[in-house]
Structure 1
Amino acid sequence: MTNPAQPAAAGKREWIGLAVLALPALLASLELTVTNLALPAIAKDLSASGTQLLWIVDVYAFLLAGSLITMGAWGDRIGRRRLLLIGAVAYGLASVLAAYAPDAGSLIVARALMGVAGSTLMPSTLSLATSMFSDPRQRAVAIGVIVASVSGGTAIGPLVGGWLLERFWWGSAFLLAVPFMALLLIAGPPLLPERRDAAAGRLDVASALLSLGAVLPVVYGLKQIAADGLEVTSAVAVVTGLTLAAAFVRRQRTLADPLVDLRLFAGRTFSAAAATLALGIFVLWGSNYAIAQYLQLVHGLSPLEAGLWTAPSAVGVIVGSILAPRIARRIRPSIVIAAGLTVSAVGYLVLTRTQGTAGLAVLVSGAVVVSAGLGPMMALATDLVVGSAPPRRAGAAAAIASVAPQFGGAFGIAVLGSVITAVYRGQISSADVPEAAQDNLNAATAVAVSLPDRLASGLLGTARAAFVQGFHLSAAISAVLMAGVALLVVILLREDIRR
């Protein structure tokens, strides 16, 4: 006899539907990786300036991060499947516009549209997966599959992007999204259930604008700090964003039906899991940013070669996120998360042992250990965030689970990138090198091209050594941070539900 209190187990249709939901998750990271590879060809064909190239990448991330909360709340109101399908159509059309953009300005506009459309995909994917798998164990596995799909896009992105760009023009990088979205539109309606919050009121436009106004300046300011250090413009941007964020919070407290239910954060499991997710991605994105530079500027690899060497670390996330839910059936999720964070701390200690242009295996091995440890955190913390929220607020909870990594990642690149830059400048300031090379390793590499071989070799040796010192310090900071977060997870989540 079935226990009425026991959640119903998902059947064949739900698991096939999960495969459909994996499509937008895979595309999310695949598209970004391929776009980065396409930038040199875009610069050549469209005569794009360096600033325009940055905007082609950044405007997508800005609008994506800024729209996530609004789209998650909108999905609660109009239906999460409907929002997913609307987003698929919009994303496909925007991708076509990007592929055939006649100039850099048009491409930037198309990428902005892609960012807004892309913000519908991940919250809908997570909230639908949560509603389709009501059994906690199955839900944890489903969330693990979604996280693994995101990592899978990172792993295969360099391979797919390199193959496309060697055979076709740069627009093929954007057309890649069209078959994904077409398949989602065909398979989504019969396989995915419709879920909405019947009690939700109208979407508060002022809150939506405040959320966008809060996120965009902060993300922009953090990116500028990572690139150029702390300046007046970046500081004003961050302060403006934080001010609007405070106004957003105050407004949510006065609304009967807020865009973000702040009561969700009153639950210790929800708030602790969201914070863990943000801090984990803080170190992951920060280290990935640094490792990409290390591979290209210290080891001298091409972007494609560097991408191929980062693929093993993406596999580490996939393995960790898939195995974690199975392990969590026997061991409390908080223990699994803490153990994974401890493993990642060990990986960061390995990264402190890299030796300049030698020891590529040490760099890659450390990155794999880091990723394998953070995979369980990404899967289980995401599951705790969306699983601890009431079903009717699944879209809003999924949006928070999507926004937390975006903020954590932006902070990670800014803070850890700034640590590396500060150490670099401190180390190289006492060396006899051209002033133009003292800003960062990219600048030193550019200066070295115009120097005689002997002078270029000496400059690059000094600059690379300074960068490696900063890299080691950032890795040590990450190791300490992950060890501390692991301890806090055990304390704060000690009463979480055993899966």
Structure 2
Amino acid sequence: MSDTTQEAPPRAGRREWLGLAALALPTLLVAFDIGVLFLALPHLSADLGASGTEQLWITDIYGFMLAGFMITMGTLGDRIGRRKLLLIGASAFAAASVLAAFSTSPLMLIIARALLGIAAATLSPSTLALISNMFRNPKQMGTAISLWAFCNFGGAALGPVIGGVLLQHFWWGSVFLISIPVMVLLLIFGPILLPEYRDREANRLDLLSVVLSLAAILPIIYGIKQLAAGGDDSSPAGAIVAIVVGVVVGVVFTLRQLRLSNPLLDLRLFRNTRFSSSLLAMLLASGTLAGLGLPTSQFIQSVLGLDPEQAGLWQAPTGVGIAIGVLVTPVLTRRIQSRTAILGGLVLCFVGLILLTTVTSDSSAALVSLSVALVALGIAPMFVLGTSLIVGAAPPEKAGSAASMSETSNLLGSTLGLALLGSICGAVYQSGMSSSPVPEARQTLAEAVAAAADLPAAQARSLLASAHSAFTDGLNTVAVVGIVVIALVVVLAWMTLGQKKEEAPESEGPASEAPGAVADGAGTSAP
């Protein structure tokens, strides 16, 4: 095969498109589980007696483990087979969902959410890597990635909507059980529709690199979250130590990857400016959108007083915005440059975030919903085109590694955004409520609402007015931080994404034939 046969790849057939539908199932669920707890949090916190810190860990640990294990699982999939890893992950995800649904304590739920995150990490890199193998035609791959992106964003947006409906009729554990029938469908149809791909020449997984990657990522995330939240201890020493330890371990991890002939993380890909800039831009953009999810959900439910089902429906426009942005992006890029589409979308992000800074405790749910929908619509081109740039910048034999990095960047950004912006909102709330005569109301809005229920009517109204005002100030602050972050993304897109396509880093073998990669059965066209 010639290295210049880029225009002659085989077109995908009916089986590949049906396989894409099967891959949509885990993609939806992985994203769904990031946002599904937004509306369930007040209910499970009251039932399990979770403290403010435990609530943060219940929410954050899933994304932390998902991001931490993503690259490891992507490399593991190259070795044992991407379809095999996908099906193992589906089984583990279903089992962990049952454990989460029937948790009897905050610690049990935190552990269950951690296991869900690890299981999800086996699913995520397999989906995008399989898509890159199944759809070799560039136009078809662009369409497939656009639909995959729709599932990724749509799952996160549908989490609160479906969660609200379930919470209106069932107990909080039902938001976890919904994943079981979906995973059963994947286990049935996955072996039929999805071909197997693995790297026959891949070396053994470097376990030390796995440990080092986790020992670098998790302390840094923990330290940043603690610094942003403040916590009961006024000294930031513990958080700073955690960050320093994570950075030092990260340096050790980097040095080891540079020495290994078959590293866990191929750092040579970062020599490509478009690749590295796209990763950073996606991390920042996805962090902004995810960080808005929890405070806006709590505002609609706890400040405006809507029930879970109503609150979930008011968040539906976020999904509509994502759907429009993701599906329209491939059409736009036939007429305008990718960078122009990305920058145009980011302008919409600015408009949405500016609207969010004007929200008061008396504002309507429609204003909040419109603001977040505009941000979601504007970020969609960055996500779709950024993913294509990342996968396209890597040589074919590194597509799995590039897919893992792409999803790691997005999910790590989402998790950090959820933790940091959520913690900033909480810190502003705590500052505003520091002089409250009701100690129980000083930590979280949920605790203020619970405390107000036991007070005389006049005192309850006064307490809730103060709590609502403090939380709204936190939401406004989150929007301002989001504006700053999106401004950085604009600078990145303007300076780097308009450059000419760079050559992918050279690899051990011919890039066009992906040496060592084998497809069980008949490859992308297997019957």
- Provide TM-score, normalisation by structure 2: 0.84
Query: Is 2:131–2:141's contact at 8 Å kept on the other side of the alignment?
Result: yes
Partner of 1:284: 289
Query: Is 2:342–2:382's contact at 8 Å kept on the other side of the alignment?
Result: yes
Task: Name structure 2 gaps, 5 residues minimum.
Answer: 503-527
Matches within 5 A, 1:333-348: 333-348=338-353
Q: Report the CA distance shift for 1:338/1:137 in structure 2 as closer, same or farther (over 3 A).
A: farther
Per-residue deviation at 1:444?
A: 4.4
Matches within 5 A, 1:258-337: 258-337=263-342
- Give me the whole-angstrom Cα distance separating, in 2, the residues matched to 1:317 and 1:346: 16
Query: Is 1:35–1:174's contact at 8 Å kept on the other side of the alignment?
Result: no
1:478 aligned onto 2:482:
yes
Partner of 1:92: 94
Per-residue deviation at 1:191?
A: 2.0
Aligned residue among 457, 462, 465 for 1:453: 457
Partner of 1:402: 407
Q: Report the CA distance shift for 1:358/1:239 in structure 2 as closer, same or farther (over 3 A).
A: same
Matches within 5 A, 1:33-44: 33-35=35-37, 37-38=39-40
- Give me the whole-angstrom Cα distance separating, in 2, the residues matched to 1:300 and 1:323: 35
- Give me the whole-angstrom Cα distance separating, in 2, the residues matched to 1:48 and 1:425: 18
Aligned residue among 410, 416, 434 for 1:411: 416
- Give me the whole-angstrom Cα distance separating, in 1, the residues matched to 2:324 and 2:459: 45
Matches within 5 A, 1:131-170: 131-165=133-167, 170=172
1:235 aligned onto 2:240:
yes
- Give me the whole-angstrom Cα distance separating, in 2, the residues matched to 1:20 and 1:183: 8
Per-residue deviation at 1:344?
A: 0.7
Q: Report the CA distance shift for 1:27/1:422 in structure 2 as closer, same or farther (over 3 A).
A: closer
Aligned residue among 461, 472, 482 for 1:468: 472
Q: Which moved more, 1:119-128 or 1:50-59?
A: 50-59
What do the CA deviations read for 1:290-343 (whole angstroms, capped 9, x no partner)?
A: 212322332223344322211211221122112112212332222211211121
Per-residue deviation at 1:272?
A: 0.8
Per-residue deviation at 1:32?
A: 4.2
Partner of 1:61: 63
1:381 aligned onto 2:383:
no
Query: Is 2:79–2:199's contact at 8 Å kept on the other side of the alignment?
Result: yes
Partner of 1:362: 367
Work out the number of aligned pairs and report it. 496
Amino acid aligned to 2:186:
L
SS in 2 for 1:196: strand
- Give me the whole-angstrom Cα distance separating, in 2, the residues matched to 1:104 and 1:404: 28
- Give me the whole-angstrom Cα distance separating, in 1, the residues matched to 2:428 and 2:171: 40
- Give me the whole-angstrom Cα distance separating, in 2, the residues matched to 1:305 and 1:163: 8
1:253 aligned onto 2:258:
yes
1:488 aligned onto 2:492:
yes
SS in 2 for 1:195: strand
Per-residue deviation at 1:442?
A: 4.7
- Give me the whole-angstrom Cα distance separating, in 1, the residues matched to 2:250 and 2:168: 44
- Give me the whole-angstrom Cα distance separating, in 2, the residues matched to 1:420 and 1:164: 27
- Give me the whole-angstrom Cα distance separating, in 1, the residues matched to 2:243 and 2:142: 35
Query: Is 1:151–1:315's contact at 8 Å kept on the other side of the alignment?
Result: no
Amino acid aligned to 1:243:
V
- Give me the whole-angstrom Cα distance separating, in 1, the residues matched to 2:449 and 2:491: 41
Query: Is 1:332–1:496's contact at 8 Å kept on the other side of the alignment?
Result: no
Query: Is 1:76–1:392's contact at 8 Å kept on the other side of the alignment?
Result: no
Amino acid aligned to 2:32:
L
Query: Is 1:345–1:480's contact at 8 Å kept on the other side of the alignment?
Result: no
Query: Is 2:63–2:412's contact at 8 Å kept on the other side of the alignment?
Result: no
- Give me the whole-angstrom Cα distance separating, in 1, the residues matched to 2:44 and 2:467: 29
Query: Is 2:101–2:177's contact at 8 Å kept on the other side of the alignment?
Result: yes
Per-residue deviation at 1:367?
A: 1.2
Q: Which moved more, 1:37-46 or 1:312-321?
A: 37-46
Per-residue deviation at 1:281?
A: 1.2
SS in 2 for 1:120: helix
Q: CA RMSD in A?
A: 3.1
Query: Is 2:228–2:427's contact at 8 Å kept on the other side of the alignment?
Result: no
Q: What fraction of aligned residue pairs are identical, expressed as a percent?
A: 45
Partner of 1:7: 9
Q: Which moved more, 1:260-269 or 1:186-195?
A: 186-195
Query: Is 2:128–2:403's contact at 8 Å kept on the other side of the alignment?
Result: yes
Query: Is 1:339–1:486's contact at 8 Å kept on the other side of the alignment?
Result: no
Query: Is 2:350–2:375's contact at 8 Å kept on the other side of the alignment?
Result: yes
Q: Report the CA distance shift for 1:426/1:57 in structure 2 as closer, same or farther (over 3 A).
A: closer
Amino acid aligned to 1:409:
S
Aligned residue among 21, 31, 39 for 1:29: 31
